[in-house]
Amino acid sequence: MIDKAQIVSLVNEQLEDKMFLVDITVNERNVIDVFIDSFDGLPISKCVAISRHVEHSLDREEEDFELHVSSPGLSHGFKVKQQYIKYTGRQVEVTTEDDKKLEGTLIETGDIDFVLETSSREKVEGHKKKQLIVRKHKLKYDEIKSAKAVISFK
């Protein structure tokens, strides 16, 4: 089986300043999936360059493999802290380890935690109509089961 650490090293050699590695998987059939992202958008030409670099560095005579290099896309969950940083100021959906679901604006990211601002209409004593209540949730990265960007067509 192909060594994942070797793939990580090869990909890191090709990453530019604002690019980052999200995830690499290698399954038992040597299907290699490489997910990279960038703070400035990721052109397909960079995916091609990384793919070629990895492919030319591995020996198909020794071990055959299938290689895919792409960005993770909006439907994939966040895997690394840089993705939280990239989506600061945008809508995200978070599920905590205790299965609490929150959706709101990611307003701040730190080394060990981030702040998610949520808003909802709730009945408040002394008011006839529901009031807009805004809350800030400080969450640690290691307490998150899943997080992903919310796609909105508003």
Give the start-to-end residue ranges of the domains of the chain: 4-70, 81-149
Instruction: List the beta strands (DSSP E) in the chain.
Output: 19-26, 31-38, 66-70, 91-96, 101-109, 113-122, 131-140, 144-149
The CA distance from 36 to 52, in Å, is 15
pTM: 0.88
Q: pLDDT 10s digit of each residue in the chain, 154 long?
A: 789 999 999 999 999 999 999 999 999 999 999 999 999 989 999 999 999 999 999 998 888 999 999 999 888 899 999 999 999 999 999 999 999 999 999 999 999 999 999 999 998 888 889 999 999 999 999 999 999 999 888 7
CATH number of 81-149: 2.30.30.100
- In this structure, which amino acid lies at residue 121? R
Query: In this structure, which CATH number among 1.20.120, 3.30.160, 3.30.300, 2.60.40 belongs to the domain 4-70?
Result: 3.30.300
